[in-house]
Amino acid sequence: MAITDEAIERIKEMIVSGKLRPGDRLPKEADLANRLGLSRNSLREAVRALSLVRVLDVRQGDGTYVTSLRPELLLDAVAFLADFHRDDSVLHLLEVRRILEPAASAMAAQVMSDEAIEELGGVLEALEDDADIERLIATDLEFHRRIGVGSGNPVLASLIESLAVPTVRARIWRGISEEGAAARTHEQHWAIYHAIKARQPDVARSWAAVHVAGVEEWLRKAQ
């Protein structure tokens, strides 16, 4: 194991064990390096790496703190890396969405509040018949974001949101180039919504799978 990796593992162990908790300030660099049996250089590199993935927050002139460790904060790194996808990896992202979106929809059908479900329907009702592609995509993003939140699982919600933006370009091109794609997407949104409202998790899961698979199938044919 590289020295820097070892340093990262040592700090991670302190957080996992509870010796360092969210919001805690790390001991002074010299004291922490001595306690962990590390050089100050390797500790410095580990802190830099953990700050990049939002585990640590380095505050100039103040010290280094453990962040809140909230899922949406930590998963910012996933979104950041996904933004650098190559065109041929969009399919891989869509495959992951095809796993996550149906699960989130099924969970939302079980635990999403009645008020939140009504608001979800309002997102679809607000879409005009002659809406342009940008408005359609914005509605799509908001629709899936609300379902992710409605699943009751913040990690799942953050993963769904992280994977949404990198696949937008494929969804836009499908909407522009495939006849009837926008109308089918809107119909599928309504089908997912009605299944969630009716508290039918299996139906919601099935429609969500069909919905995401449509973009994936189009992209496979277009390549």
Residue 169 corresponds to which amino acid? R
> What per-residue confidence (pLDDT) applies to 88?
54
Contacts of 77 (CB under 8 A, 6+ apart): 52, 53, 54
Cβ atoms 100, 156 nearer than 8 A: yes
The answer to whether residue 25 scores a pLDDT higher than 50 is yes
Rounded CA separation 135/57 (Å): 36
Q: Identify which has the larger pLDDT, 132 or 99.
A: 99
Structure confidence at residue 84 (pLDDT)? 46
3-12, 150-159, 171-180, range with the lowest pLDDT: 171-180
Q: What is the pLDDT of residue 1?
A: 47
Task: List pLDDT tens digits, range 194-213.
Answer: 999 999 999 999 999 998 88
pLDDT confidence bin for 85, thresholds 50/70/90: very low
Structure-token match 């969804």, residue found: 171
Contacts of residue 174, defined as CB under 8 A and 6 or more positions apart, other chains included, come to: 181, 214, 215, 218, 219
Burial state string for 65-97 with b = 16 or more CB within 10 A and e = fewer than 16: bbbeeeebebbeebbeebeeeeeeebbebbebb
pLDDT digits (tens, 9 = 90+) for 137-167: 888 889 999 999 999 998 899 888 877 766 6
Domains and CATH numbers, the chain: 3-69 (1.10.10.10), 74-222 (1.20.120.530)
The SS3 call for residue 57 is strand
pLDDT for residue 185: 84
Amino acid at 87: D
pLDDT interval class at 186 (50, 70, 90):
confident
pLDDT in tens, 30-52: 999 898 888 888 888 888 888 87
Report strand pairing: 63-66 vs 56-59: antiparallel
